[in-house]
Amino acid sequence: MANPLSEFLRSYLSVGIFVGLSFVLFGLLMVISWALRPNRPQAGKYINYESGVDPVGSTWSQSQVRYYIFALLFVIFDVEAVFIFPWATRLEAYGTFGLIEMFAFITILILGLVYAWRKGVLKWA
């Protein structure tokens, strides 16, 4: 039973059970609510809410996503975080070597941020 792989998989089995529980709770609330709530259909109820007036035009409206470049930047920095985490846990073993290596890495990323900043990407366009 002390097989490390089965221990590892079992720790994730607990995760699965706990998430399953959240869906069970959700289902339970839905069932209770379904048993208790009234259902009185009226045409006006199902109109999309737009502060009381009838919706204008298509409700799948287009809106300008002003910060989509932020999303690209986010991907870069998030991947960076993925690389930094293993380094951070083992820093004591790597010592000065690891420190210098990671400085090079972080510096390049900061240069990227500075470039985006100077380009005006971080401004409200």
Partner 1 sequence: MIHTVLGLELAYWQETTLRVLGGLVMLLLLTGGVVYLYLFKFVSFMQSRLGPMEAGPYGSLQLLAEVGKWLQKEDIFPEDADRKIFALAPAIVLASTFLMFIVIPAGPNAVVSDLGTGIYFVLAMSSLSVIGILMAGWASANKYALIGALRAGGQLIAYELPLVLATIGVVVAAGSLNLQDIVAAQANGEIFGIDWIGNPFVITQFVAFMIFVISVQAELTQTPFDMPIAESELVAGYHVEYTGIRFLIYFIAEFATAVAFAAVASTLFLGGWALPAAWGLGTGVMHVVGPIVISTKAVLLVGVVFWVRFTLPRYREDQLQRFAWKFLIPLALANIVVTAIAKVVF
Q: Cβ of residue 4: shortest distance to partner 1, in angstroms?
A: 11
Residues 6 or more apart whose CB falls under 8 angstroms from that of 90 comprise: 98
Q: Which helix (H) or strand (E) holds 99?
A: helix 91-118
Helix (H, G, I), strand (E, B) or coil at 125: coil
Compute how many residues bind partner 1; rule: CB under 8 A.
69
Instruction: Show the binding pattern over residues 6-35: x = contacts partner 1 (CB under 8 A), - = does not.
Output: -x--xxxxxx-xxx-xxx-xx--xx-xxx-
Binding flag, residue 106, partner 1 (CB under 8 A): yes
CA 38 vs CA 30, 34, 42: distances in Å:
13, 8, 12
Contact residue for partner 1 among 5, 51, 54, 118 (CB under 8 A) = 51
Structure tokens at 51: 């502060």
Q: How far apart are CA 28 and CA 14, in angstroms?
A: 21
Q: Cβ of residue 86: shortest distance to partner 1, in angstroms?
A: 9
Residues 6 or more apart whose CB falls under 8 angstroms from that of 69 comprise: 116, 121
> Where do contacts with partner 1 occur on this chain (CB under 8 A)?
1-2, 7, 10-15, 17-19, 21-23, 25-26, 29-30, 32-34, 36-40, 45-51, 55, 59-61, 63, 65, 67, 70-71, 73-74, 77-78, 81, 84-85, 88-92, 95-96, 98-99, 102-103, 106, 109-110, 113, 117, 122-124
